[in-house]
Structure formats: structure tokens, C-alpha cells
């Protein structure tokens, strides 16, 4: 472990130790509190002697994501007891249920818009973020977002939930889209370590006034219009990379009958058995023939094409797709 990382961990464990001592002084020497204090002291000892993060059974490195979630663990996955394995499986199943409960409803979003999406973790839980926040369905006013936290697994899923809470809170302030990303970036940057960041593509529908689109280091949204398939360029760096960052949005004309696709790089960076990448060109070529379809048909066609391309190759990343379509009969 690098010295800087050890110093940060030592400080965090010291803070946890102080909190436990305060709790013990207030409620007495409860067995659970005393046991946690002993675990913290043991972790501090491992940091000081350079063995922290090493499995006590095989002496190989413990999985980093598990250490980020629980800095007190002492064994890698291969050497958990049967009881510990059952507890981990239960926790992962519960985490998946919580995560899927955060997903928006599919189907009609507002008076003139319909949504369909596909959300698939690479493992037990996902670091992808997908949400639709409706402020006024009667006048077609809502925010839509697709994001991707660096990494996979439990740590990424926790940060994804953090993003979910941040945007749910900020949308109550009715600020412009660029300003919304600036505020979300600051909160995400201050609430996590510098080694993590998140890419985001999002848009704000404002009734007949148009659609405002912005992105932060994310794959470009794609417009499926009657005139063709067009990528909407990214407009900023990922969230969490720099705490003070400005973001610009752009107006996009989405005519009745047009659709907008947002996706994570689990789509375009997927690989087949020969290690060929799915790629943006294949996606755009596919979309050219899907422009007249409904949102759920577009999503289904993309997923089916990806499965056909990937064959029996292993999933390497989380995957999220969101298609929003403006009704062909909408006015304005």
C-alpha cells in the first residue's frame, strides 16, 4: 500500500475509533461496540505493519472494492467462511433489489413523450445511473439522465446511489441544465475520493420550448430523426474530476416522431469472442433502420443485435440504454 493511501486510511480508521470510544462512553461497554473497536484497532495494526489489505489465509490481496465498502475485512472472497459467503450473497441480492427499485417507470413519461430502457449489471450490482425526473407531466417538463461511475461492482453501485440522491435533490431548485451539472459535480467531487468519477449524459424537456442537452465526458446522445441519425457532441469533463468545472448545454430540435438514444459504453465497447469491439459505426448503422419503431422496439433491436454480436463472450461492463420518443401527434 502506498504511503499516501495508508495515511488516508489511518486517518479514517482513527476517526472511526474515536466515534466508537465516544459511543462506548455514552451507552457503556456493549459487546457489539467493543467488538467493533477491537476490529478497528486490529486494522490500524495491520496498516502500521504493512499487512493491511492482505488476506490472512492466502496472503494475497483482498478485493479492493470490498475494502472500500468495509475497511475491516481480513480475508479475500476465496477464503470466506460458509456463513460469511451466505451473508455476502444476501447483501448483494438486497443491494440489487434496492438498486432496481431506483429505476424509473417505463412507458409514457408525459403528455407527448414515451420512454423505454434496458439496464443490465455486469455482476451482482451496477455502477450505471439511469433516471427520469418528471416535474410537470401535463406540460412535458422532465429531466432525463444516463451515467456511468468508474469501475464496477459494489463500490460503483454505492456511488451510483449517491448520484441518484444528488440529482433528485438538485432538481427541486429549477436551475438551468449547465448549472445543474456544475452543482452535481461539486457535490459528487466533495463526497468521494479523487480516484472516482462519473460520466453523465442528460437532457431537460421544457414543453414546447424545446430540449436542452448536456454531457459530461459521456458517449454522445444520438438523435434518430426522420432525416437521419445524428450524434450530439459531449460538452464537458466527467463529474468528480475537478470540483470547480463549468458545463454548457445546447438546444436540440426533436420533432414529433423523433427519438433520442442515451447509452453507456458497455454497449459500444462490448467485444465478441475474437476481441472485436461493437463500436459506434455498427450502432449508427443499426439505428438507421430503426427510426420508425417505438422506443421499446428500438431498445429490443439494439439488445438483440448486441447479443448476436457478443455471442458467448463474457460481459465486461454494465450496460444501460434509454430511448425517449416524442409523439408523432404532439404539437409545437
Percent share of the chain, pLDDT over 70 = 89
pLDDT beyond 90 at 278: yes
Average pLDDT over residues 222-233: 91
**Least confident stretch, 14-23, 142-151, 162-171, 180-189:** 14-23
Average pLDDT over residues 201-230: 90
pLDDT beyond 90 at 294: yes
CA distances from 158 to 86, 149, 321 (A): 21, 10, 20
Residue 178 — very low, low, confident or very high, per pLDDT cuts 50/70/90?
A: very high
Average pLDDT over residues 74-92: 72
Residue 242 — very low, low, confident or very high, per pLDDT cuts 50/70/90?
A: confident
pLDDT beyond 90 at 287: yes
Residue 218 — very low, low, confident or very high, per pLDDT cuts 50/70/90?
A: very high
Bridge partners of residue 201, in order along the sequence: 146, 215
Average pLDDT over residues 234-239: 85
State residue 65's pLDDT score. 60
Average pLDDT over residues 98-121: 91
Residue 172 — very low, low, confident or very high, per pLDDT cuts 50/70/90?
A: confident
Residue 331 — very low, low, confident or very high, per pLDDT cuts 50/70/90?
A: low
Domain range summary for the chain, segments of one domain joined by + = 3-83, 106-326
Question: What would the grid cell of residue 142 be?
Answer: 422532465
Average pLDDT over residues 290-309: 96
Return the HEC string of the chain: CCHHHHHHHHHHHHHHHHHHHHHHHHHCCCHHHHHHHHHHHHHHHHHHHCCCCECCCCCCECCHHHHHHCCCCCCCHHHCCHHHHHHHHHHHHHHHHHHHHCCCCCEECCCCEEEEEEEECCCCCCCEEEEEEEEEHHHCEEEEEEEEECCCHHHHHHHHHHHHHHHHHHHHHCCCHHHHHHHHHHHHHHCCCCCCCEEEEEEEEEHHHCEEEEEEECCCCEEEECCEEEECCCCCCCECCCCCCCCCCEEECCCCCCEEEEECHHHHCCECCCCCECCHHHHHHHHCCCCCCCHHHHHHHHHHHHHHHHCCCCCCCCEEEEEEEECCCCCC
Rounded to 10 deg, the angle between the 82-101 and 153-170 helix axes is 30
| Residue, of 65 and 42, whose pLDDT is higher | 42
Q: Write the pLDDT tens digit of every residue in 113-124.
A: 999 999 998 887
**Least confident stretch, 184-188, 218-222, 254-258, 327-331:** 327-331
pTM comes to: 0.75
**Fold of the domain spanning 106-326:** Phosphatase 2c; domain 1 (3.60.40)
Neighbours of 321 (CB within 10 A): 25
Average pLDDT over residues 140-151: 90
pLDDT beyond 90 at 9: no
Where residue 8 falls (left for φ over 0; alpha for ψ -120 to 50; beta otherwise) is alpha
State residue 194's pLDDT score. 57
**Fold of the domain spanning 3-83:** 1.20.120
Average pLDDT over residues 26-47: 79
User: Whole-number mean pLDDT of the chain?
Assistant: 85
pLDDT beyond 60 at 2: no
Classify residue 45 by burial, with Cβ atoms within 10 Å: 0-12, 13-18, 19+.
Answer: exposed
Please state, in angstroms and rounded to a whole number, the distance separating the CA atoms of residues 132 and 116.
Answer: 11
Residue 90 — very low, low, confident or very high, per pLDDT cuts 50/70/90?
A: low
State residue 148's pLDDT score. 94
Amino acid at each position: 500500500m502506498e504511503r499516501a493511501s495508508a495515511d488516508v486510511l489511518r486517518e479514517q480508521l482513527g476517526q472511526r475509533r474515536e466515534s466508537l470510544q465516544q459511543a462506548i462512553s455514552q451507552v457503556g461497554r456493549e459487546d457489539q461496540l467493543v467488538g467493533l473497536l477491537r476490529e478497528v484497532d486490529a486494522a490500524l495494526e495491520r496498516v502500521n505493519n504493512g499487512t493491511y489489505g492482505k488476506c490472512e489465509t492466502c496472503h494475497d490481496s483482498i478485493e479492493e472494492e470490498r475494502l472500500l465498502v468495509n475497511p475491516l475485512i481480513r480475508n479475500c472472497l476465496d477464503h470466506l467462511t460458509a456463513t460469511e459467503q451466505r451473508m455476502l450473497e444476501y447483501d448483494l441480492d438486497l443491494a440489487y433489489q434496492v438498486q432496481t427499485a431506483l429505476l424509473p417507470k417505463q412507458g409514457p413519461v408525459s403528455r407527448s413523450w414515451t420512454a423505454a430502457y434496458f439496464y443490465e449489471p455486469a455482476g451482482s450490482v451496477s455502477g450505471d445511473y439511469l433516471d427520469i425526473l418528471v416535474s410537470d407531466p401535463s406540460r412535458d417538463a422532465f429531466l432525463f439522465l444516463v451515467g456511468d461511475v468508474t469501475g464496477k461492482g459494489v463500490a460503483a453501485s454505492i456511488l451510483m446511489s449517491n448520484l441518484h440522491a444528488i440529482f433528485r435533490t438538485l432538481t427541486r431548485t429549477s436551475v438551468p441544465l449547465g448549472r445543474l451539472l456544475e452543482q452535481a459535480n461539486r457535490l459528487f467531487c466533495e463526497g468521494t475520493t479523487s480516484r472516482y468519477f462519473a460520466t453523465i449524459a442528460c437532457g431537460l424537456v421544457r414543453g414546447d420550448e424545446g430540449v436542452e442537452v448536456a454531457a459530461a465526458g459521456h458517449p454522445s446522445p444520438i438523435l434518430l430523426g426522420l432525416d437521419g441519425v445524428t450524434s450530439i457532441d459531449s460538452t464537458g469533463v466527467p463529474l468528480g474530476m475537478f470540483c470547480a468545472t463549468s458545463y454548457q448545454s445546447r438546444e436540440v430540435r426533436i420533432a414529433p416522431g423523433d427519438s433520442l438514444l442515451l447509452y453507456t459504453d458497455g454497449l459500444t465497447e462490448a467485444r465478441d469472442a475474437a476481441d472485436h469491439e461493437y463500436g459506434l459505426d455498427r450502432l449508427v448503422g443499426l439505428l438507421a433502420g430503426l427510426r420508425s419503431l417505438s422506443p421499446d422496439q428500438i431498445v429490443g433491436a439494439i439488445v438483440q443485435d448486441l447479443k448476436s454480436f457478443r455471442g458467448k463472450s463474457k460481459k465486461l461492463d454494465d450496460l444501460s440504454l434509454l430511448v425517449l420518443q416524442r409523439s408523432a401527434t404532439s404539437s409545437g
